[in-house]
Amino acid sequence: MNDLPNRLLRLRCCFLVITTFLVMLQTLPIQTGFNHIFIPDILLVMTFSWVMQRPDIIGPILLTIALLFADFILQRPPGLWTLIVLFGGMFLRMRSIRFKEVVFIYEWATVSVVIIFCYTLQNVSMRLAFLTPYDFKLTSIQALTAVLFYPICAWLFRPMLKARGVYNSQKQADRVAE
């Protein structure tokens, strides 16, 4: 990817701002009449979407910082979900180049398997560490909604994450100068 360095920095900062917004949104004391609203883990879906579309933006350090922040604020076991998503994200990052030329269904299927694996590994790890695991039915519904939300998230961020080459930017600047 031949993006300008300041654009890469802006996209990384944008990822951190969106992460902070999503985490703070989850901590709001919103009360509704229906207490069983199953919303997907939007941070997980957004992370995997960004990793698949632009693997050069989301590196392991940025991913670790963002997810550790979410673990501490949301009072999850510190580092467990971060480590699981980091492994899943790096797995997808290594394979993201292959999915540039195939049908979106293959990308969606691969990300779906990784999402389900992440939730399953979290449940098994919590049981092995003698922590109180989350309700498996609620976790499986959250994983299913995350899988179903992935195409929407990929579609929403695709225009923002489109690579703009240095050559194209220079060419556009030359046109403006004329």
Which CATH number is 95's domain given? 1.10.1760
* Domain annotation covers residue 67: yes
Tell me what pLDDT residue 122 has. Answer: 92
Query: Would you state the pLDDT for residue 26?
Result: 84
Query: Is there a domain that residue 173 lies in?
Result: no
Q: Give the whole-number percent of the chain exceeding pLDDT 70.
A: 84
Q: Is 125 within the bounds of a domain? A: yes
* Residue 74 resides in a domain: yes
Q: Which domain holds residue 134?
A: 5-27+39-168
Please say whether the beta carbons of 157 and 46 come within 8 A. yes
Residue 4 pLDDT: 75
Residue 87: per-residue pLDDT: 96
DSSP 98: G
**What is the C-alpha separation between 81 and 70, in angstroms, rounded?**
9
Total structural domains within the chain? 1
**Structural contact between residues 102 and 57, judged by C-beta atoms closer than 8 angstroms:** no
pTM of the model: 0.83
DSSP class of residue 99 equals: G
Whether residue 28 contacts residue 132, with contact meaning beta carbons closer than 8 Å, is answered with no
- pLDDT lower than 50: segments of the chain: 167, 169
The pLDDT value given to residue 28: 82
CA angle 155/96/99 to nearest 5° reads 70
Q: What is the pLDDT of residue 37?
A: 57
* 130, part of any domain: yes
Asked whether residue 176 is domain-assigned, the answer is: no
Give CA–CA dist 25/19, Å, rounded.
10
Asked if residue 166 lies in contact with residue 5, where contact means CB atoms within 8 angstroms, the answer is: no
Per-residue confidence (pLDDT) for residue 134, from 0 to 100 = 82
pLDDT (tens digit per residue) in 21-51: 999 988 887 766 555 556 788 999 999 999 9
- 79 dihedral zone (left: phi>0; alpha: psi -120 to 50; beta): left
Q: How much is the pLDDT for 166?
A: 53
The answer to whether the beta carbons of residues 74 and 137 sit under 8 Å apart is: no
pLDDT at residue 54 in the model = 87
* Nearest partner of 45 among 107, 90, 111, 104, judged by Cα: 111
For residue 114, is it within any domain? yes
Classify residue 32: in a domain, yes or no. no
